[in-house]
Amino acid sequence: MKRQLICLNFLLTFILLVGCSNTGNGKIEEISPEHTEANKEQEYIQYLVEHYDFKKEDFDEMDVVAFVEAYDLVADDCTSEEAHEIYEGSADMYRYTEMDRLYGFIDKDTDYAVKKDDKIVRIGVYLNEGVFAQKKVFDLTQKAYYTDDTNSVALSAEAIEKLSTIVSRYEVDAWEKTPEFTGTDTDSTANYAWRIVFVTEDGRNCSYYGGLGYNDPKHSAEVIEELMKLI
């Protein structure tokens, strides 16, 4: 009898937990605690759709991660009505600007790694040499590039060819996604950091980074130099 009561209590607890997970006031625990920047945005959108009756389109052209975390929408026990009131009053503050749309993908770490045979449609690069920082975007589909602003400049056929083959020429597919951090000299005031993102035809953003204190991948310096001096 005692064993039967224990089993019954366990069953009731399981039913209650399942019931709670299907309510509109879910908690942060329902979002994977191991989510990364690569999938956080999609997890948040899915959560908002399932728990607060939003539509995915409501979050087009919007920094969903900043919006959700600013208002603790996956931590607070708010109603669907309250969530929609927050959205109506604040969503516009999190709409992407044209600069965000052009350069924002460079700043995001992702889980994706580029493959040697991937067709590259866009490349973003950031370089901070300590006294000067710059971002560039090369759009191979539009045959244009941008440097720190929204003004497009045409890419030559020669430049497009070089950009299309840069992954295979420098064996970028062999780069580690998370470079080894070796530490820096605490007395040094030097600064050097870089980021490169390759966007593939199937929509993957393959990000890499390094700089002072990191064991940079082989050929990364050559890739950065070519990208920064290509135009």
Please give the chain's pLDDT, 231 residues, in tens: 434 443 434 433 333 333 333 334 444 344 444 445 557 888 999 999 999 999 999 998 899 989 999 999 987 678 999 999 999 999 999 999 999 999 999 998 889 999 999 999 999 999 999 889 999 999 999 999 999 999 999 999 999 999 999 999 999 999 999 899 987 665 655 789 999 999 999 999 999 999 999 999 999 999 999 999 986
Is 101 in contact with 61 (CB distance < 8 Å)? yes
**Is 159 within 8 Å of 231 (Cβ atoms)?**
yes
Structural domain spans, the chain: 22-96, 105-229
Dig out the tokens for 224 from the structure. Answer: 């950065």
What pLDDT does 99 receive?
Answer: 94
Query: In which element (H, E) is residue 69 found?
Result: helix 64-70
Residue 121 and residue 201: Cα distance in Å, rounded?
6
Angle between helix 37-52 and 80-90 (nearest 10): 120
Rounded-to-integer distance, Cα 125 and Cα 105, Å: 10
pLDDT of residue 189: 56
Q: What is the pLDDT of residue 186?
A: 56
How high is the pLDDT of residue 130? 86
Of 59, 167, 161, 66, whose CA–CA distance to 112 is shortest?
167
